[in-house]
Amino acid sequence: MPRFYFHVHNSVEIRDPEGVELPSLTDARSEAVRAARALMADDITAKGEITLSHSITVEHEGGAPGFVLPFRTCVEIRP
C-alpha cells in the first residue's frame, strides 16, 4: 500500500515525517480534506477565525509530488 505525506502550510510549515498508508491518491485527497477541516475547526474554536489561504501538500512516498489542497476548496462559504 502506498504511503502519503501530508505537509501543512499555515502560519508555520509542518512537515509530516511519518505519512499514512492509503490505498490511492483519491483516499489521500479525502484524508487531506478531513485534516484541513479539522485544522480550520480548531482555529475557529481557539481564535474565532480561519485563513483560507492555508494549504496541505500531499506527497507520495519517495517525495514524488501529489497535489496541493488549499483550505478554501474544503468548505463552502455562505452568506
% residues pLDDT > 70 (the chain): 100
Residue 65's pLDDT band (cuts 50, 70, 90): confident
More confident residue, 11 or 22: 22
- Return the C-alpha cell found at 2: 502506498
The owner of cell 483550505 is: 71
Q: What is the mean pLDDT of residues 51-78?
A: 94
pLDDT (tens digit per residue) in 18-39? 999 999 999 999 999 999 999 9
DSSP secondary structure letters along the chain: --EEEEEEESSSEE--SS-EE-S-HHHHHHHHHHHHHHHHHHHHHHHS---TT-EEEEEEGGG-EEEEEEGGGG-----
pLDDT at 10: 87
Domain borders along the chain are 3-74
